[in-house]
A and B are shown apart, each in its own frame.
Chain A
Amino acid sequence: MSRRSEADAPHPRQEPRLPGALSLERLEEVFTDCADFAKREVYLHGDSARRAAVCYIDGQARSERLNDYVLRPLAQDPMLASVPEGELFGLMERGALYAHGAKRETELDPAVFALIDGSCALFLEGRDDCLIFPVATEEKRSVGEPENEPALKGARDSFVESLRTNTSLVRRRLRAPELKIKEHVVGRQSLTPVDVLWIDGIADPDTVALLEERLDAIDIDGVEAAGNLEEYLVDAARSPFPLMPFTQRPDRFCQGLLEGRVGLLADGLPLGWLLPGTIDQFFKTGQDRAYHWLAASALSVIRWLCALITLLVPGLYIALVTFHPEAIPPRLALSIVAAKQEVPFSTIFEVLIMLLAFEVIQEAGLRLPGPIGATVSILGGLVVGNAAVEAHIVSPAVLIAVAIAGVAGYTMPSQDFGNALRLWRFLLAILASLGGLTGMALGCAGLIVHLAGLESFGVPYLAPFTTGTRVPRGHPSLFRLPLPMMKWRDGPIQTQNRRNQK
């Protein structure tokens, strides 16, 4: 974004969007051809000389609240018919109506957006200003279990699509007033509220400022997908590796805030990002702190190992079988030779085709409804795989190598990171096809260089392993130490207060 030239810069978002003074006529004009815009005219306590109009957006405002807290007092409260007209407006603003808030608006722009947010606007005959009462509906998906991050031993609530519900889930866990929540609006048409959360005194103010600066610089039509934020906040286009770790779990989100990271929540997206993102974040699960430290450490090491397996196994198989057979144990080599004799394709072709087939089956399984998806996976994985081996289309060793690589990839807690590994797996397999272990080594060197060149909000992506000598390090990333020993927050993310316990 910083590289954009002045000429290419987007035209600024118009603020205010609807300039000018407020009036009922102008409001109706704004909502012309809006079927859900509603206007209800009422007599105050049946007095036809005193008329009021209540405007709202049907579906955004909750009918019960509108009826009980606004329309009923207007129709039934005798005081409203008796007070002088000059005091009527002030009386309603100060409690004659039962809504928990009332705000007087004289400008068109805020009144329009208040209606869109679910408030109703009350106009009195002969006046252009209005009173805004919040009567928004709270219809939304209830807080459920995180489907992508299941909890065996821990909280079972998950973020939902409602931003305010999500902030309340965080606030219930972090009751300290130092938890700051700052709202930004992103999207010309969607006007999506996006909240930046951090703990004052722990999080790095520079990171908060940088995030807010980048949020404000986003000028897009709408925030309908996570990529609408991710790809604008970090330079994601140059790397398949995710730079913004996210979670569905409020407990994990709060843990991230406690570690000094800056949180990001967007309305309509049931997840929260934690910034800056370093590579170790994509290997952590919400259960790491719930299990015994030895078990959690072992699982962590397994996940790192699986990342290497999913990345390297297909390429290594090609390199060893095609270029360096002497490195294979003799008995295994004899098995491979025996199985390979009747297969018409080259090893390189076999592996690449099987990798592709694996991706196709996985994609087909994902796109179909659950039970059918499972059936496709079974049919594709077992039946077709077995038939291909028996028909000598592929050798069993290739099937095993590709399956091991695929299954190992599923251990990645982050699907985004797993996807990046899948892409690099293809690249390394192709390099191994060209140059054996030399090509693999070259590819691995390239991968390390690539990862070392990545940054997320000014923090190196490989920070847990590559911080300089002057940068304080955190705790080991491969292992999870006993919690009483984890006294320090991560150094590279520049927390203001590194000590997290006595």
Chain B
Amino acid sequence: MRHAHVKGGVPCMPLLSSAVVLCLFLSGCSGFPAAREMGDMALLRTLGVDTAAAGVAVTGSTGPRARGLQAEGEPALTLSADRASLSAACLAMQDQSDSFVFFGYVDQLLIGEALAEEGVRPVLDYFSRDAELGLGAQLWLVRGGSARDALAAGGDEGVDSRLETIQNDSKMGIASLTRTAGEVYADLLELGSAYVPALSPAGKGEAVLTERGYGILKGDVLAGCLEGEAARGLELLAGGTLADILDVELPESRASVRVTSACTKSCLVFQGDGLSVLRLTCKAEARLTEYERRPAGGELERLQAELEERERARIEAALKQLQAWGADCTGLGAAAGMFHPAGWQRIQVDWPERFSRVPVEITVQINLNS
């Protein structure tokens, strides 16, 4: 591949034309982005959305801020506005600050229970369309109060660090499952239902946000909430890492067991053209954490059986509620349908109704590492 002459890369007309076309493509034919100095920005970290008489009430918090090289601490900046629409409220918040309010760092989205009962879709739509906001924010349902109250509960420190802690704990398996707005939105669009981790402020004054199970969205409205054993059952169905210790009373001693992982597989069993049963197999790994006397032999088997029974009861409690609401929010039907595409195609349209009625067989297998 020899060339006759040594040439330099001199731009010529075709090259310039290509550069202009490339420029248009790169900029999405919308011109270059606008410049903005970061020193003049208030970075909102948490956004709360509630219903209000005017339409929606939006509250934003920056979290603790720093100023100058020594990073002297400044209290969290909290802005709020009630307007007919989310975009109007966000625009109104710009007027309340002496800095440019930047929404690009909102990674915690709190939704009040009242708004969830009316429907979360407009909020998720707005997040998906806005240039600064995105569906990567963690979504939380505030139970027993408004998102504005929950944000106020953080005081000068804000609530974003608490929410980040829960999020990180969840990844490590010591807090309940977390979900991004995108995951919830995708579930709502694909499954017709979704689960959202729920929080509520505990204590008076600067309260601490504590986990309170999961809110179940059907369509885009809040169908109900799962708490306690039912919430644990949902975690088993969702296959997330569990933040739970099971204390088991044995005939001659007691032991504490930690379920470290779980995986639930679903299977649709058809009889003729009709769906006869939804079979669930939950396999979990558990580890003995405490015991008075090391269980062995028959005692170990009894412990295992007790654990399996407890987990089965949890799944049943969760499924009972979910079937009552017709909300297959963990996608059991869709996952099973992948192995029976023809049968799934027949029942997919009215799956929520069928899910409410279908008999469920639950098998729990626990592998206990002593």
Give A contacts to B, CB under 8 Å: 2, 206, 234-235, 237-239, 243, 321-326, 330, 333-343, 346-348, 389-390, 392, 395-396, 433-439, 441-442, 445-446, 449-460, 467-468, 470-471, 492, 494
Contacts and interface: CB of A to CB of B under 8 A. Distances in A.
Interface in B1-19: 1-11, 15, 18-19
B9 A454 contact: yes
Given A238-B9, A442-B19, A459-B2, A340 B39 contact: yes
Contacts of B132: 326
B286 to A, nearest CB: 36
A457 B38 contact: no
A434 B32 contact: yes
Given A441-B26, A449-B9, A460-B3, A323 B34 contact: yes
Contact of B41 (A325, A434, A451, A471): A325
Contact of B43 (A337, A347, A434): A337
Contacts, number: 141
B91 interface: no
Given A323-B35, A458-B3, A492-B1, A438 B41 contact: no
Contacts of A234: 6
Nearest to A322: B35
A330 B15 contact: no
B34 to A, nearest CB: 7
B9 A334 contact: no
Contacts of B38: 321-322, 325, 333, 336-337, 340, 347
Contacts of B3: 455, 458-460
A2 B11 CA distance: 20
Contacts of A346: 37
B349 interface: no
A335 B104 CA distance: 16
A235 B7 contact: yes
A335 B33 contact: no
B39 A2 contact: no
A235 B35 CA distance: 39
What interface size band does chain B fall in? 35 or more
10 contacts: A235-B7, A238-B7, A238-B9, A238-B10, A337-B65, A341-B39, A396-B69, A437-B33, A449-B11, A471-B1
Contacts of B253: none
Contact of A337 (B2, B18, B39): B39
A439 B32 contact: yes
A243 B7 CA distance: 11
A207 to B, nearest CB: 9
Interface of B: 1-11, 15, 18-19, 22-23, 26-27, 32-41, 43, 45, 65-69, 71, 102, 104-105, 107, 132, 134
A470 B9 contact: no
A340 B67 CA distance: 9
B66 A335 contact: yes
A330 B6 contact: no
Nearest to A435: B32
B338 to A, nearest CB: 36
A467 B1 contact: yes
B105 A326 contact: yes
Interface centre among A334, A389, A396, A458 (most CB of B within 10 A): A334
Given A343-B39, A445-B22, A468 B34 contact: no
A449 B134 CA distance: 35
Contacts of B67: 338, 341-342
A455 B9 CA distance: 9
A248 B129 CA distance: 60
Given A238-B8, A330-B45, A337-B39, A442 B23 contact: yes
Contacts of B68: 338-339, 341-342
B41 A337 contact: yes
Nearest to A329: B105
A325 B102 contact: yes
Nearest to B69: A339
Nearest to A327: B104
B146 to A, nearest CB: 25
Contact of B26 (A324, A333, A442, A459): A442
A338 B74 CA distance: 10
A473 to B, nearest CB: 11
Given A338-B66, A436-B35, A460-B1, A442 B7 contact: no
Contact of A449 (B1, B4, B15, B34): B15
A235 B10 CA distance: 11
B23 to A, nearest CB: 6
B104 A438 contact: no
A458 B6 contact: yes
Contacts of A390: 69
A458 B23 CA distance: 31
Contact of A454 (B7, B65, B105): B7
A236 to B, nearest CB: 8
A467 B2 CA distance: 10
Contacts of A322: 35-38
Contacts of B37: 322, 340, 346-347
A330 B164 CA distance: 12
Contacts of A323: 33-36
Nearest to A243: B6
B8 A470 contact: no
A154 to B, nearest CB: 32
Interface centre among A235, A237, A396, A470 (most CB of B within 10 A): A235
Nearest to A441: B26
Contacts of B66: 334-335, 337-338
A454 B8 contact: yes
Contacts of A342: 39, 67-69
A457 B2 CA distance: 9
Contacts of A460: 1, 3
Given A322-B36, A341-B67, A433-B35, 17 more contacts: A234-B6, A323-B33, A325-B104, A330-B105, A330-B107, A334-B65, A341-B40, A342-B68, A343-B39, A435-B27, A435-B33, A436-B35, A438-B33, A442-B23, A450-B9, A460-B1, A492-B1
Contact of B6 (A392, A441, A450, A456): A456
B22 A458 contact: no
Given A339-B68, A436-B32, A326 B104 contact: yes
B33 A333 contact: no
Contacts of A442: 19, 22-23, 26
Nearest to B160: A330
B165 to A, nearest CB: 14
A457 B9 contact: no
Nearest to B5: A2
B1 to A, nearest CB: 5
A223 B19 CA distance: 40
Nearest to B4: A458
A62 to B, nearest CB: 43
A74 to B, nearest CB: 54
A410 B176 CA distance: 50
Contacts of A492: 1
Contacts of B32: 434-436, 438-439
A321 B41 CA distance: 11
The 10 closest A-B pairs by CB, nearest first: A238-B8, A326-B104, A340-B39, A453-B9, A450-B9, A338-B66, A435-B32, A458-B2, A323-B33, A235-B6
